[in-house]
Amino acid sequence: MGKADDKGEASKSRNARREMICKLVSSERVSTQMELTQKLQAAGFSVTQATVSRDIRELRLVKISDGGGTFHYEMSKPEDQFHASGKFYSMFQSAVTGVDFARNLVVIHTYTGMAQAVCATMDGMEWPGVLGTVAGDDTVLVICRTDEAAEELTTALRDI
């Protein structure tokens, strides 16, 4: 088998694994990455927790509260364009003092010393249209691909 064939096989394997992840989180209450890893292994997939973590992020799975203090994974809804994790919402609500934009740049003002934490949790969200972020002590600069993406992100962040 050549390298091109290996990549094709890897892609098929990844797609099959991700289909199984979607099936599992749709039909069962899966609470942790380790639990999902074990279920995939039981289904015949040779997978590590690091791979599962990447799949969760790329599939944009979200953790939803059961209401009794426990959480489980679910598929995010298509209308949740800017869905953020509970960790991000909590961090954002407690640390951010303001959000504004100019052209394709979004500026997030935080309490002193909180910009790095807000930036780090935001980076993990992989927001659509965001090229990158830079944090200072009390300010996060978000570079968006377009002016429209910056405006949409600002609106979404202000709604938090």
- Other Cβ atoms less than 10 A from the Cβ of 75: the count is 14
CB 54 within 8 A of CB 40: no
CA Rg value for the chain: 18
In terms of DSSP bridges, do strands 105-110 and 96-102 run parallel, antiparallel, or are they unpaired?
Answer: antiparallel
Grade residue 79 by pLDDT with cuts at 50, 70 and 90: very low
Predicted pLDDT of residue 61: 79
Answer yes or no: is 148 within a domain: yes
Query: Residue 100 maps to which CATH number?
Result: 3.30.1360.40
Q: What is the mean pLDDT of the chain?
A: 82
Answer yes or no: is 80 within a domain: no
Scored b (16 or more CB within 10 A) or e, 9-28 reads eeeeeeeebeebbeebbeee
Predicted pLDDT of residue 8: 56
Percent residues over pLDDT 70 in the chain: 85
Least confident of 10-14, 29-33, 59-63, 101-105: 10-14
Domain that holds residue 60: 3-75
Tell me how far apart the alpha carbons of residues 85 and 136 are, in angstroms, rounded to a whole number. 23
Q: Look at the chain and report how many structural domains it folds into.
A: 2
0.75 cut: is pTM over it? Answer: no
Grade residue 35 by pLDDT with cuts at 50, 70 and 90: very high
Domain boundary among 75, 110, 128: 75
Same domain, 101 and 53: no
